[in-house]
Amino acid sequence: MQGQSAKKTVKFIKVNLDKCMACRACEVACSGFHATPKFSSFNPARSRIRVVTDYLNDEYVPIRATDYARAECDGRNTYTINGKEYSACSFCGNVCSSRDLFKEPDSGLPLRCDMCEEDPELKEPWCVQVCTIDALTYEEREEEAEEDVRMEDIETGLGSMVDKYGLQRVLETVVRMTKKG
């Protein structure tokens, strides 16, 4: 699989900062979707999207959980956009030691946005569906991608899934996926 050029679909959520009112409907929808069973509880602390607010600067920034960073970053840049000043942390979706965003409240494990992928696939993630003012919009684009798959990464991922869901559920999911493709 190494060195093959392939096209992949890149999914992303665009944020319009001028439209966000910090209603936090996106947080509630996300937490409900990821509850077990789905929509059985609503706890924004379990949401994979958070609206970072700075009321003094009238700043509302929806950010999605991305990768886990083992260490806190050393950059504390600020950006001025349309006359408003924003800190670099306002746009960062990484889970890091400097803040408690995107950590499972009970276990402390990092959370990551999965774009609400499920079977059957949703047209767009729940946070986008509930954003009635279009501060969040969902887009997809095709990109050329150089695939570099390391077996250790696959083994680590599978090991985590087996630990969380059990070997039988993982195997059943793989079988179901192979029948689709």
- What pLDDT digit, counting tens, does each position of 136-159 carry? 999 998 887 666 677 887 888 888
With cut-offs at 50, 70 and 90, classify the pLDDT of residue 4: low
Q: Indicate if 111 and 142 belong to the same structural domain.
A: yes
Q: Indicate if 92 and 143 belong to the same structural domain.
A: yes
Residue 167, token pair as written in the block:
């070997």
Q: Indicate if 111 and 136 belong to the same structural domain.
A: yes
pLDDT (average), residues 78-97: 72
Note the helical H segments in the chain.
Answer: 25-33, 126-130, 151-165, 167-180
Which amino acid type is present at position 123? K
Q: Is 112 left (phi over 0), alpha (psi -120 to 50) or beta?
A: beta
Q: Which residues pair with 80 in a beta bridge?
A: 85
Q: How far apart are CA 116 and CA 26, in angstroms?
A: 12
Q: What is the pLDDT of residue 179?
A: 78
Number of domains in the chain: 2
Q: 28 or 169: whose pLDDT is higher?
A: 28
Please compute, for residue 140, the number of CA atoms within 13 A of its CA located in the half-sphere on the CB side: 8
Q: Indicate if 17 and 83 belong to the same structural domain.
A: yes
Whether residue 180 is predicted with pLDDT greater than 70 in this model: the reply is no
Q: Phi and psi dihedrals of 56, rounded to 5?
A: -65, -35
Q: Indicate if 142 and 166 belong to the same structural domain.
A: no
With cut-offs at 50, 70 and 90, classify the pLDDT of residue 40: very high
Percent of the chain clearing pLDDT 90 (strictly above)? 33
Q: 38 or 69: whose pLDDT is higher?
A: 38
Closest by Cα among 112, 126, 102 to 33: 126
Of 100-114, 122-136, 160-174, which has the strongest mean pLDDT? 122-136
Q: Indicate if 60 and 137 belong to the same structural domain.
A: yes
Whether 88 and 80 have beta carbons less than 8 Å apart is answered as no
Closest by Cα among 121, 117, 149, 136 to 50: 136
Q: Indicate if 46 and 125 belong to the same structural domain.
A: yes
Q: Indicate if 57 and 92 belong to the same structural domain.
A: yes
Q: Would you tell me how many other CB atoms lie within 10 Å of the CB of residue 86?
A: 18
Whether residue 16 is predicted with pLDDT greater than 60 in this model: the reply is yes
Q: Indicate if 133 and 175 belong to the same structural domain.
A: no
> What mean pLDDT, rounded, does the chain reach?
82
Q: What is the pLDDT of residues 23-36, one digit of tens each?
A: 999 999 999 999 98
Q: Indicate if 72 and 155 belong to the same structural domain.
A: no
pLDDT (average), residues 61-85: 74
Q: Indicate if 97 and 181 belong to the same structural domain.
A: no
Q: How far apart are CA 23 and CA 155, in angstroms?
A: 40
List of residues 6+ apart from 12 with CB closer than 8 A: 138, 139, 140
**Residue 170 structural domain:** 150-181
Q: 56 or 1: whose pLDDT is higher?
A: 56
Q: Indicate if 19 and 101 belong to the same structural domain.
A: yes
pTM of the model: 0.67
